[in-house]
């Protein structure tokens, strides 16, 4: 584990450490940089709030070491609410502020779980006429997928368990943990 965090006592076990996240983020940024080296008008990174906030910040900085130039955009969508399973209904809480037509877009996600959020989002972005849309996600749960989606850049495949930390929440908590872990069962039983 790391030096010690406020929420450590609620964590059953760590799945991905802070150091692993750092190393993988640098690796993903290098791949993206190489694949998009020739784009002239730069990349548009679209962060899917709130979960992807930490990964977006670190990925954008890692990409900044290599280029190409990237503009940072934010959307907020939600389908999990207070629970640990997707409602299946993706709600837009904040839309894009600008036109993405003609741009090379990379959607930055924290996790692909059922795939419902991304399948909806990719259809939405396609309707906004981006030149290309790819996805970079830190985590993916291959056993949980309900809709298969093309995700070009994946950090870690993880088991089909509900995880928290590094942006991922349970009932809006645990996002500020620097690692990704599984909660102790008793946490879910708390009122």
Ligand X SMILES: O=P(O)(O)OC[C@H]1O[C@H](OP(=O)(O)OP(=O)(O)O)[C@H](O)[C@@H]1O
Cα separation of 126 and 188, whole Å?
38
- Burial code (b: 16+ CB inside 10 Å, e: under 16) for 27-58 equals ebbeebbeebeeeeeebbbbbbbbbbbbbbeb
CA of residue 19 relative to chain centroid, distance: 17
Which residues, numbered 108-137, are part of the site for Mg ion (CB under 5 A)? none
Q: Under the criterion CB under 6 A, does residue 10 sit at the interface with ligand HPA? A: no
Q: Which is nearer to ligand HPA, 17 or 26 (CB)?
A: 17
Q: Under the criterion CB under 6 A, does residue 113 sit at the interface with ligand HPA? A: yes
113 is catalytic: yes
Q: Under the criterion CB under 5 A, does residue 80 sit at the interface with Mg ion? A: yes
Which residues, numbered 128-147, are part of the site for ligand HPA (CB under 6 A)? none
Find which of ligand X, Mg ion, ligand HPA, none residue 163 binds, CB within 5 to 8 Å per kind. Answer: ligand HPA
Question: Which tokens belong to 178?
Answer: 């620097």
**Active-site annotation holder among 10, 58, 110, 113:** 113
């Amino acid at each position: 584990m790391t030096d010690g965090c406020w929420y450590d006592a609620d964590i059953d076990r760590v799945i991905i450490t802070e150091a692993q996240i750092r190393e993988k983020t640098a690796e993903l940024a290098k791949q993206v940089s190489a694949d998009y080296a020739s784009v002239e008008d730069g990349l548009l990174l679209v962060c899917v709030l709130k979960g992807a906030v930490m990964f977006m910040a670190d990925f954008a900085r890692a990409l900044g070491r290599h280029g190409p130039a990237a503009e940072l955009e934010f959307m907020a969508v939600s389908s999990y609410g207070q629970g640990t399973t997707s409602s299946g209904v993706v709600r837009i809480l904040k839309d894009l502020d600008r036109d993405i037509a003609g741009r090379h877009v990379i959607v930055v996600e924290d996790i692909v779980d059922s795939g419902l959020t991304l399948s909806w989002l990719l259809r939405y972005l396609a309707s906004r006429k981006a030149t290309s849309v790819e996805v970079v996600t830190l985590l993916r749960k291959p056993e949980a997928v309900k809709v298969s989606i093309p995700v070009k850049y994946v950090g870690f495949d993880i088991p089909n368990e509900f995880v928290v930390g590094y942006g991922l929440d349970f009932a809006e908590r645990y996002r500020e943990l620097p690692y990704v872990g599984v909660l102790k069962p008793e946490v879910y039983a708390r009122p």
